[in-house]
Homo-oligomer: A and B are copies of this chain.
């Protein structure tokens, strides 16, 4: 592991847009050559896909370079190596979802509305960003080996917990929600139902002979998550 050499990339701030959005942005025709930012983002986007699809061990540096249409050497120039690039992808992925989440502004809605919005957002985000779930899968297969080293990860998540706590508190006050709910458990339940379906639909489709990638099945499961969560929250 060449992590000692990541110094250079450490100073690179992980760009919120990079992992999540560069992927879908239209192929802007800029000068092409000597565009450091563009190159760096392209690498990050390509790496995100590759790591998500093949896992850390299965991901190939050459494949990332090819996907990003850059010279493999640049990957080392900008990120230092496979490890450091993976860490950048990992942090970038979390930053991206938490940033989008933060834009929800749940506190100005009724508890029921807010909770529904959170559930729907989460489900949609998972649906639209399959790489995020892939990265999580990979990282967990390694027991969060890399994430544990990331200092700022915790801070990134306290606002989320606070937000859910607020919703729950207000919901209890209005009589919409049962009391004694753990915000972390609520979030985990939402994530569990959403993530499991999308992540595992491939084997599930096979064993149950039912194409879970069809729109109707996906939509139905989205409804199902809401039903389950609200059934549980019901006082």
Interface size on A, residues (CB 8 A): 55
B57 contacts A54, C-beta separation under 8 Å = yes
CB distance from A200 to the nearest CB of B (A): 5
A interface with B by C-beta (< 8 Å): 53-59, 94, 134, 136-144, 147-148, 150, 153-154, 156-157, 161, 184-185, 188-189, 191-193, 195-197, 199-210, 221, 224, 227-228, 231-232, 234
- Chain A: interface secondary structure? helix
User: Min CB distance, A130 to chain B, in Å?
Assistant: 10
Bound-complex Cα distance A191 to B207 (A): 14
B-chain residues with CB within 8 Å of residue A191 when the two chains form the complex? 196, 200
Between A and B, 19 residue pairs with Cβ closer than 8 Å are A134-B141, A140-B199, A140-B200, A140-B201, A142-B202, A144-B202, A147-B203, A154-B209, A156-B207, A157-B207, A188-B196, A188-B204, A189-B193, A189-B224, A191-B196, A192-B195, A193-B196, A228-B232, A231-B234
